[in-house]
A and B are shown apart, each in its own frame.
Chain A
């Protein structure tokens, strides 16, 4: 009865949906084709639309046609291929993990490939494209395996991304470190980092395309099983689908796809995250796209449109000679970030379950011993940081210096070294405190000034000021950093606040803003000061080089105020971090308290960035570690987190200054290298 009643209603809608889907697919193909056609008329050679037309019809002079054949067409094809590969890889990863945040970027696949390639490059081996592709594949696969293994397949959406982002940050930092340790050409570091689709002939494209085909065919064969996974693991198992092997095969294929893209063009960010996100609303409207076989190619098309569209946009906006210096990846990151933010706000957040860390309750003794030990370690690190460096000193030198009786060399060394140590210590403490506050207020274990884009906004503000007013003072740099941080946090928290700081939305928007601001910082430096690797290093990955005592003053002031506020309001923090209802029941005004804490954390991260550039990871690791060590009471978490943050950044700065002395690595690179293993260890531990 029921069946006969509903059937007539379904049939027409299914028909329109099928034609609709076909129309959408056709429109996409047209869009991609149009963009591709525009792309081949753009470039540094004087070969525009008319010349291209002549060349295509075989009536042009050989020079023009060689530009078209050896440069434009390969570039266009590479753009389409890379976009399609990343789009499909992202789609597959999101489908099998049922996680809108999964992508080659967030599962560290890109970072793993990139690191493996960097490792090979650093050893000086020069491999043919396919062999380096194999190396990159191994790297990407290992990274994905680590992330999926640590987070447990299919469980814990948040953990998956947490592990992935952590590993991405760490691997990227290590690759940058490698490139600095084995410097070949400093200005190359950016281009390497961002990825560019320019090609010399079709060789690369032709070698990589088969890998893409293998991945695509594999995924299409796997499509039914992937579809079943969407019903949930148990339901899929009930249908006789081998859940585990499906996941493993899909991840391997996705890694293969994104590796192919990385080998061809370097890591082009965000496409893998963005393309499937753009396809998802289509799936709700057209039933044909709810199936993997329908939506996988569409995701690929969308990815292709994103990459080629970014390239067209870049070449249309800036003069061609400047456009050459700007990697395509910068633009995809910008375009992708904007799309992502829009999508994140519109998409309904479904997976919002807070995974509260199951923590043992710690006694007061544990807290006191931990604090005492940390204080001792901190003192040790400070002593080491002051004494060890490019020239080694002894404590007597410091005593002489403190009394103003030191010789010229010691005076100078300490005059320049002490501010750096202070900047590192205070920046670490401030970032840790900021992270603690944000994590409590948003009750989001992923929240961190770096990941949420607050630090990125601060860096953008500071770079804008430093670029326009080269001799800006430390207070004005801190002010500009705060303006940038405030703006980015208004965007992030403002957009995420609708619907009450839901986890995925907050992190998605934050991730978008963070990537966009990093891309803008790169872009600003490339356009205004292309050969200044030092500047880029400072603002993109944190460095204390050339810091003065006056640079540290704003940070010290804000940190002091921040610690006082956090300690005074510790009970409120405890309540806010508990859940939504308890504070209300107790008659606490949640909104104002939250706003206050958030403003404070924005101030803290902004001044930290102004003093030492963007140092990632500390705000994420320190509060986590602190909670694991002493439980969740803020009276205990705050001091321990602050101590841990100071120790972490100070150690990072120390190591960065000494390992390759007299050359140096940025503190931010080192925090990531030190922070990643610890963070992964924390993840494994908390799984028990």
Chain B
């Protein structure tokens, strides 16, 4: 038995070794250099040099992918394509990009096989992985998010990506549209008498019959937008330094008091809908003042809470529509 196993293993090995000759890619020859180089400094302080506006771009995180699409550049590689399609329908993919793996561990092989001329990464990727990606193409690493200035970080990232892809003009338009949307939204809320309303945005998920709730504090992108709309963030919990997200459970909601409560979930992910599912019968939830008054608003699916200006435009529309009722 043992001998048979060993022989089989050895034979397989030999066959594999013998049949695996040849090459999948011809040996390299020198490539010509073009003019108009672009030099940028990214959020890690690295100098990024490009031969020209990047066309074949890979994005490792959904927020940079959304920015790319908004800027009119179709990415050739995206992390977790299925997830993106589920969670970000506000800015849908216009092409069929290659799936490069998970957002936390994008596959180096796949990225390399796409031969990109720019890789957009965020500081969420381990430094070692970014280091490796630099060998395949220039990597523009943007800060994933900054709780100190969430909207500023978002537009800064948009500008940087626009410069690298030669779409600065489009970025200007996007920022303009976003500002207009903010002003309109603020005015609409003021007209409806909702200025200064206490507002709490959260998402939640169910893990093994237990509900976790993530409060979006003032440091989150959505929290930043809410304040620009003239709403007051009702959360008192501490958020993290990057995304401005806190953690709490159902009990923690009792500290909110009488507020407007909004959340985004996803029908494609059953664990993301605790407010209508696991909590529906929960006594703590049902006795919350905002639940009893019906001030719980489920905003439309597919607005990516960590996205760019276009997701935020859709978010503003949704919030205004919910609060004007």
Compute how far the CA of A45 lies from the CA of B253 in the bound complex, rounded to whole angstroms. 7
Docked pose: A603 CA to B131 CA in angstroms:
28
For residue A564, CB closer than 8 A to chain B, the reply is no
- Once the chains bind, are A321 and B101 in contact (CB under 8 Å)? no
Contact between chains at B104 and A534 (CB < 8 Å)? yes
Q: What CA separation (Å) do A322 and B252 show in the bound complex?
A: 11
Q: How many residues of B contact A (CB 8 A)?
A: 78
List which B243-274 residues lie within 8 A (CB) of chain A: 243, 245-252, 254-255, 269-272
Which of B12, B80, B115, B251 is within 8 Å of A43, CB to CB? B251
Distance (Å) between the CB of A184 and the closest chain B CB?
Answer: 5
Q: Contact mask B10-22 → A, CB, 8 Å, 1/0?
A: 1011101100111
Most chain B CB within a 10 A radius of its CB, from A71, A417, A531, A546 = A546
Which of B107, B126, B205 contacts A185, CB < 8 Å?
A: B205
Known A-B contacts A46-B255, A47-B254, A405-B28; the reply to A394 vs B207 at CB < 8 A is no
A321:B248 contact, CB within 8 angstroms: yes
A547 in contact with B128 (CB, 8 Å): yes
Given contacts A394-B24, A409-B115, A412-B135, are A188 and B255 in contact (CB under 8 A)? Answer: no
Indicate if A30 sits at the interface (CB-CB under 8 A). Answer: no
Interchain CB contact under 8 A, A534 and B283: no
Report if A394-B21 is in contact (Cβ < 8 Å); known contacts: A69-B283, A200-B278.
yes
Q: Are A408 and B136 in contact (CB-based, < 8 A)?
A: yes
Bound Cα distance from A417 to B23, whole angstroms: 17
B25 part of interface (Cβ distance < 8 Å): yes
In the complex the two chains form, is A191's CB within 8 Å of B208's CB?
yes
Indicate if the CB atoms of A200 and B252 lie closer than 8 Å: no
Tell me if A405 and B247 are in contact (CB < 8 A): no
Known: A188-B271, A413-B109. A548 touches B131 (CB 8 A): yes
Bound-complex Cα distance A392 to B207 (A) = 37
Chain B residue numbers with a CB within 8 Å of A535 are: 126
**B245 / chain A contacts, CB cutoff of 8 Å:** 531
Give CA–CA (A446, B284) in the complex, Å: 49
Stretch at the interface among A276-284, A378-386, A578-586: A378-386
Chain-A contact segment, one of B176-184, B193-201, B209-217, B307-315: B209-217
| A192 at the B interface (CB under 8 A) | yes
Is the CB–CB distance between A389 and B109 below 8 Å?
yes
Q: Which residues of chain B from 1 to 59 have a CB within 8 Å of any chain A CB?
A: 2, 6-7, 9-10, 12-14, 16-17, 20-28
> What is the bound-complex CA distance between A533 and B12, given in angstroms?
36
**In the complex the two chains form, is B238's CB within 8 Å of A321's CB?**
yes
Contact partner of A201 (CB less than 8 A), chosen from B205, B237, B283, is B283
**CB-defined contacts of A543 to chain B, threshold 8 Å:** 105
- State A126–B270 Cα separation when bound (angstroms): 10
Q: Are A46 and B126 in contact (CB under 8 A)?
A: no
Interface residues of A in 389-431 (CB under 8 A from B): 389-397, 400, 405-413, 415-417
CB B128 to nearest CB in A, in angstroms, measures 4
Chain B: CB-nearest residue to A66: B287
B14 touches A406 (CB 8 A): no
Q: How far is the CB of A667 from chain B (nearest CB, A)?
A: 12
| A196 close to B (CB within 8 Å) | yes
**Which residues from B are CB-within-8-Å of A407?**
25-28
Give the distance in Å from the alpha carbon of A384 to the alpha carbon of B20 in the complex.
9
CB distance from B131 to the nearest CB of A (A): 7
Verify B99–A324 contact, CB threshold 8 A: no
Contact A200 B251 (CB under 8 A): no
Q: A376-B13, A376-B14, A546-B132 are in contact. Are A45 and B210 (CB under 8 A)?
A: no
Is A246's beta carbon under 8 Å from chain B? no
User: Restricting to A557-613, which residues have a CB under 8 Å from any CB of B?
Assistant: none
Taken together as a complex, chains A and B put the C-alpha atoms of A551 and B25 apart, in Å, by 29
- B192 within 8 A of partner (CB): no
CA distance A545 to B252 in the complex (A): 37
Q: A198-B249, A321-B246, A405-B28 are in contact. Are A533 and B104 (CB under 8 A)?
A: yes
Task: Tell me if B282 counts as interface (CB < 8 A to partner A).
Answer: yes
Instruction: Give A185-202 interface residues, CB cut-off 8 Å to B.
Output: 185-186, 188, 191-192, 196, 198-201
Cα–Cα distance between A533 and B16 once the two chains are bound (Å): 35
Q: How close is A369's CB to chain B, nearest CB, in angstroms?
A: 8
| Chain A residues closer than 8 Å to B282, beta-carbon distance | 70, 200-201
- Count residues of chain A with CB under 8 A from any CB of chain B: 87
Measured CA separation A80–B87 after assembly (Å):
40
* Residue A467 is within 8 A (CB to CB) of chain B in the complex: no
Decide yes or no whether B240 CB sits under 8 A from chain A.
yes
A324 to chain B, nearest CB (A): 5
CB atoms of A395 and B20 under 8 A apart: yes
Q: Complex: how many Å from CA A45 to CA B289?
A: 14
- Cβ-based interface call for B113 (8 A): yes
Contact B281 A46 (CB under 8 A): no
Take A46-B254, A69-B283, A548-B128 as given contacts and tell me if A394 and B23 are in contact as well, using a CB distance cutoff of 8 Å.
yes
Q: Give min CB distance, A54 to chain B, whole Å.
A: 15
Contacts of B321 in A (CB 8 A): none
Q: Answer whether residue A370 sits at the interface, using C-beta atoms and an 8 A cutoff.
A: yes
Q: Which residues of B contact A395 (CB under 8 A)?
A: 17, 20-22
Closest chain-A Cβ to B23's Cβ sits at a distance in Å of 4
Max chain A C-beta neighbours (<10 A), residue from B26, B102, B112: B112
* Among B99, B101, B283, residue most surrounded by chain A Cβ atoms (within 10 Å): B283
Asked whether A14 is an interface residue with its Cβ less than 8 Å from the other chain, the reply is no
With the chains together, A377 CA to B13 CA distance in Å? 6
Pair A413/B247 contact, Cβ less than 8 Å? no
Kindly provide the distance from the CB of A138 to the nearest chain B CB, expressed in whole angstroms: 18
How far apart sit A47 and B248, CA to CA, in the bound complex (Å)? 15
Shortest B288–chain A CB gap in Å is: 8
In the complex, A462 has a CB within 8 A of chain B: no
Shortest CB–CB separation between residue B17 and chain A, in angstroms? 5
Q: Does A67 contact B (CB under 8 A)?
A: yes
Q: Does any Cβ of B come within 8 Å of A532's Cβ?
A: yes
Interchain nearest-CB distance for B271 vs A (Å): 5
Contacts of A410 in B (CB 8 A): 23-25
Binds B, one of A165-173, A223-231, A288-296, A657-665: A657-665
Of residues B109, B131, B209, B247, which shows the largest number of chain A Cβ atoms within 10 Å of its Cβ? Answer: B109
Least distance between A268 CB and chain B CB atoms (Å): 12
Q: Which of B94-131 contact A (CB under 8 A)?
A: 99-102, 104-110, 112-113, 115, 124, 126-129, 131
CB distance from B276 to the nearest CB of A (A): 14
Q: In the assembled complex, which residues on chain B have CB atoms less than 8 Å from the CB atom of A391?
A: 24, 109-110, 112-113
**Do the beta carbons of B25 and A45 come within 8 Å of each other?**
no
| Cβ contacts under 8 Å, B21 to chain A | 394-396
| Chain A positions 191 through 219: 1 when the CB is less than 8 Å from some CB of chain B, otherwise 0 | 11000101111001000000000000000
CB of B147 to closest CB in A, whole Å:
13
Report yes or no: B23 in contact with A397, Cβ–Cβ below 8 A: yes
Chain B 270-298 near chain A by CB (<8 Å), digits 1 or 0: 11100000110111101111000000000
Q: Give the shortest distance, in Å, between B111 (CB) and chain A (any CB).
A: 8
* Bound Cα distance from A117 to B21, whole angstroms: 45
Which residues of the partner chain A approach B243 to less than 8 Å between Cβ atoms? 531
B287 touches A664 (CB 8 A): no
A44 at the interface (CB under 8 A from B): yes
CA distance A530 to B241 in the complex (A): 12
Residues of B within 8 A of A12 (CB): none
A47, A70, A384, A471: the one contacting B16 at CB < 8 Å is: A384
Contact B207 A191 (CB under 8 A): yes
Whether, in the assembled complex, A525 has its beta carbon less than 8 Å from a beta carbon of chain B, the answer is no
Q: Does A58 sit at the interface, judged by CB under 8 A? A: no
Contacts of B104 in A (CB 8 A): 186, 532-534
B23 touches A321 (CB 8 A): no
Say yes or no: A373 contacts B249, CB within 8 Å: no
User: Contact between B205 and A44 (Cβ–Cβ < 8 Å)?
Assistant: no
Q: Across the A-B interface, give the 7 residue pairs with the lowest CB-CB distance, nearest first.
A: A380-B13, A70-B283, A662-B101, A390-B109, A44-B252, A396-B23, A662-B107
9 residue pairs A–B, Cβ–Cβ below 8 Å:
A324-B248, A370-B6, A380-B16, A383-B17, A408-B28, A413-B113, A546-B131, A551-B128, A661-B110
A-B contact sample (8 more), CB < 8 A, given A377-B13, A407-B26, A661-B110 = A321-B238, A376-B10, A408-B112, A409-B112, A412-B108, A416-B135, A533-B104, A546-B129
